[in-house]
Amino acid sequence: MHPQLESIFDEAENRYLHSEELTVLSQYVNSLPERLETYRKLRDNELDMMQKVADQLHAEMPTEEIAVLELSIKNALLLLRHCSMGMLVNDVGFVQNRLLNWIGQTARVYNTQTVDARLYRLLNQQLTQVFTPKQLSLLQPVLTTAQTALLNQHSP
């Protein structure tokens, strides 16, 4: 859960919540229907979107080893699934703790930076076609943070 919300619940024994804190909570609760809808849409369109990305990626990088392309796609699937959950619970840290160090290391060992960068561009294009601007605004903070962190991890 978002650290700001989590810290609110830690205050139960100390005091009642201030109006500003309740506002943060209400904002999250009000955003939940849209978050759930975005999550469902991601779940239902995952394979279709990622297959299009995979086809485009292969077409754009025909000389790249299939094993590297597949690894990059697998990592992107993991990333998308974790970002979907991170979006649902409004917590960028969720992706960091569960996944970034993990796939960052694989990506470094197999040197997939160039492929990853291109894949993210294609994936983000797919997302803009499937989701509304409002839905994208929920997903993008988590996704952009994760993608940027992973691409930067490659840099020496």
Polymer length in residues for the chain: 156
Asked if 7 interacts with other proteins (CB under 8 A), we say: no
Pick from 55, 65, 114, 148: which binds other proteins (CB under 8 A)?
A: 55
* Pairwise CA distance, residues 141 & 65, whole Å: 31
Q: Where are the alpha helices (DSSP H) in the chain?
A: 3-10, 19-60, 66-88, 92-95, 101-110, 113-130, 133-154
* Smallest separation, CB 130 to other proteins (Å): 15
Asked if 54 interacts with other proteins (CB under 8 A), we say: yes
Among the listed residues 78, 88, 59, the one whose alpha carbon sits nearest the alpha carbon of residue 147: 78
* x-marked contacts with other proteins along 88-107 as a string, rule CB under 8 A: ---------xxx--xx-xx-
Residues forming the site for other proteins (CB under 8 A): 47, 50-51, 54-55, 57-58, 66, 69-70, 73-74, 77-78, 81, 97-99, 102-103, 105-106, 109-110
